[in-house]
Chains A and B, each alone.
Chain A
Amino acid sequence: MLTVRDVTAGYGGTPVLRDVSLTVDDGEIVGLLGASGSGKSTLLRVIAGLVAPMAGTVLIDGEDVTTVPTHRRGVGMVFQDEQLFPHRDVAGNVAFGLRMHGWRKPDIDRRVAEMLALVGLAGFEHREVTSLSGGEAKRVALARSLAPSPRVLLLDEPLTGLDRELHDRLVVDLARILRATGTTALLVTHDADEAAAIADRVVHLDELRGAAGGDPPLRVVELPAEATHGLRRRVLRGNDPAATVVFSGDDDPTTLHLGIEGADGELLAVSTWLVQPGPVDPAPTDRKLRGMAVADGWRGRGIGSILLEAGLRRVFAAGASAVWANARDTALGFYERHGFRVIGEGFVDDVTGLPHHPVRRTRDAPADASGYQSTRASTRSANRDGSTPSSSTTTS
């Protein structure tokens, strides 16, 4: 089991990561998403011991390894550009870790053959690594890091830079191999689909960050429908005990209820995402965002953005092609900053009596492509001005 506690790390005195905490259970494969430059790779390097954290601890199987040198941590790492040793052949690369751990020659040979068979490269022992294709090199890198059975395997964008077809094939293989070996793994990628396909659980680096700027750590969690009712009632219905807070589709197994918990487990925000054909193009893969609610004390602190982005990532990763919602007109700017477009006429919501606008965002909306970071930054400054996205409700 891998535990990262409140790690702050960076280069030259400037932290890239702030107060990051994360746990990966034994045999669990966690996908770690984040924009480029957000410090995903730095986190892996801290776990591997290649970068010393400025603060925080790293525990492997309960043992504090924060000051243990890399070679005694029992971590394996697959580098983005493989980093195969060019002066050794395939077998020499795969055997390297085994030799370092003092294995005997016959055992090494057997293990190397076994690992190469596992990654689908049986018989490649004596090939020069410089003669391998891109996909073969990735497989050798994987075999090399798995051979000494590391306690934790770290994968740093292992499938970046491959053509689509090869990438998709390796995604399937990687998932199979990691499960077959029961490896505890942390996979860093910027590709939400890839993470969803390989990992048991996908987290975003921002969710791991104890909210930047000194706020206590926040966690994005999945909730049962009932857990959302209290906050819905308070925020969306003015705490009216008679108002209905149960939405149609709440109990549908495909509906996703997300919440943000504070350090003490208090529920600070909720949102509900259900499969429902969109108003423009009634494609069955559209998702409807309903009842996004942020607790009073947390309005204007960027928490709505975290919740919205977390939800968008999950539903897109799960195959949704668009998300739509009916946004209260005071929150319209908030949605637009997150790549939503107003579709159709504004209207007054029957239940709340407040003006609303239908909004919609497709999977590859420009805001998504232009970078999550900048969106966040602009939202944050806007929030400080007081234009808080308090809630959005639905008509139906």
Chain B
Amino acid sequence: MNGVRANALPRWLVGTLIALPGGFLLLFYAWPFATLLARGLSPDVVADVLGARQTWRVAWFTLWQALASTALTIVIGLPPAYVLARFRFAGRRLLTALLASAFVLPTVVMGAAVLALLPPSWERGVPAILLAHVVFNLAVVVRTVGAVWDHLPPDLEHAAATLGAPPWRAFREVTLPLLRPAILAAASIVFVFTFTSFGVIRVLGDAGTATLEVEVWRRATQLGDIGAAATLAVLQLLAIAAGLSWSAWQQRRHSRALALRPRARRVRPRPGRQRRLVAAVAIVTALLVAAPLVALVERSLRVRDRHSLAAWRALGKAELRPGVSSGVDPLASIGMSLRTTAAATVIAVAVGVIASLAIAAARRAGRLLDAGLMLPIATSAVTIGFGVLITFDTPPVDWRASWWLVPIGQALVAVPFVVRTVLPVLRGIDPRLHEAAATLGASPIRAWREVTWRHLRRPVVAATGLAAAISLGEFGATSFLSRSGTPTMPLAIERLLGRTGALLQAQGYALATILAVTTVVVVVVLDVTGERRQ
């Protein structure tokens, strides 16, 4: 062994570390993905699908609703991004927290909340979908654009003003061009989220509003047309890849070497117009985000225009009237969700942490694994679930009835986020700590245990929260993989809200309230625990 590697972990250990998550990735991601491609790209099916008017109607709707959602989110998100980046005011942290909570909410819950807010004539269809997408993704714009706005010196706008530029012109000619890369980055994230929107559309969509994702699900599970569904899934992948490359190219083209400046000092708004503007933006944003959530709780307490706890009391009963069953047992679904989430979280954290360790320890093979583990992010949850479903449906790997297939699917969705949480911390560990440990007589493994292991606790706690929140609300992959009689909470919510009957609807809202609270609590509590253990 040469001198450079003398202090590194032994090769066999690194190899094992890589093999575990690598194998997981190959078995549950690469293989299903290959199956999907093989099924989806058979020439006659492709010709059939591409020739069908329905395909293009769905594709067109998917595209324009995504573009409209993205444009709306950007336009509505810029004022709060500005206000939060530039000003100090009472309730600032509350507003940030509110936006962040909306973003971690499961898509189905967001759909349910908008459904609860809108009057019956509006509650399903395009406006409802757009509203849900905007509320959901506002945090992306505020965070991404706000992070750059934070560092944009206000004196640039002041310079424009001293040169005779009225405020709107200073914004258009100076601020906006400098924010453009951040806006593009936010837009491409929102675009991908809304292009692959599934949960929101399942809850809020009507006959004419199916995205490609919903169409894939409908063809595969409702119509049994696996080939066409696979083709549509591939079509969607290509569209997203094209969109993302365009945005990456645009971001490179417009990015300017902004001198790295410290964050501009946040100031209190000046009395008068500025204070009114800040107050108006903060209040409108807070209302926009909070109103659906408040409506959600309110609707769970209302059955047929009368406020009561009936829906909450009936949560444990699948039987509505003697002999009449809803087919959904809300209380059982909570238990199901908790079990599934626990399993998915364990798998995701184990795979993600081992992968992070391997990536940090290994060099080239590490980079490969890193890229491979990010792929599930670019693939939608529906595609993942669908791929897993059609791969493990024939002996000897007919695992469709296995309870663990659902947690595996959810873990696939969560693993990239675990890696993104843990890996930066590992990479941030000063290598000299290892060197110091070695000079003090610690073997590489011992040094690793003493140094690296100690740093892992905090990111692992945070990653656990993230993985749990993702699994709890996971809807896309679970829609395909949940085969047992008892659905998880998101599935149960979607089914309940799709039924007629005021009590069932109210039960759906109650269940959505429970899921919303649980998700936020999981994220917040584990976030706080992680901070404390610093």
Contact = CB atoms under 8 A, between A and B. Distances in A.
Interface string A139-177: 000001100101000100000000000000000000000
A71 interface: yes
B258 A97 contact: no
A359 B270 CA distance: 50
B259 A76 contact: no
Nearest to B164: A100
A148 B164 contact: yes
B155 A83 contact: yes
B169 interface: yes
A43 B167 CA distance: 22
Contacts of A49: 161
A71 B161 contact: yes
B239 to A, nearest CB: 30
B158 A50 contact: yes
A76 B268 contact: no
A354 to B, nearest CB: 54
Contacts of B256: 86-87, 130
B165 A96 contact: yes
A87 B177 contact: yes
A79 interface: yes
Nearest to B254: A87
B162 A11 contact: no
Contacts of B164: 71-72, 74, 97, 100-101, 148
Contacts of B155: 79, 81, 83
Interface in B165-218: 165-167, 169-170, 173-174, 177-178
Contacts of A96: 160, 163, 165, 173
A308 B147 CA distance: 49
Interface residues of B, number: 26
Interface in B213-260: 256-259
Contacts of B167: 69, 71
B444 interface: no
Contacts of A148: 163-164
Given A85-B174, A86-B256, A87-B177, A71 B158 contact: no
Nearest to B267: A11
Interface in A58-88: 69-77, 79, 81, 83, 85-87
Interface string A30-62: 000000000000000000111010000000000
A168 B178 CA distance: 34
A188 to B, nearest CB: 14
Nearest to A154: B162
A49 B257 CA distance: 29
B277 interface: no
A96 B163 CA distance: 7
Interface string B136-162: 000000000000000001011011111
A100 B165 contact: yes
A86 B270 contact: no
A97 B159 CA distance: 10
A77 B156 CA distance: 11
A52 B163 contact: no
A353 interface: no
15 contacts: A48-B162, A69-B166, A71-B170, A76-B163, A77-B158, A79-B159, A81-B155, A83-B159, A85-B156, A86-B257, A87-B178, A97-B163, A100-B163, A100-B169, A145-B163
Q: Which 3 A-B pairs have the closest CB atoms?
A: A97-B163, A100-B164, A70-B161
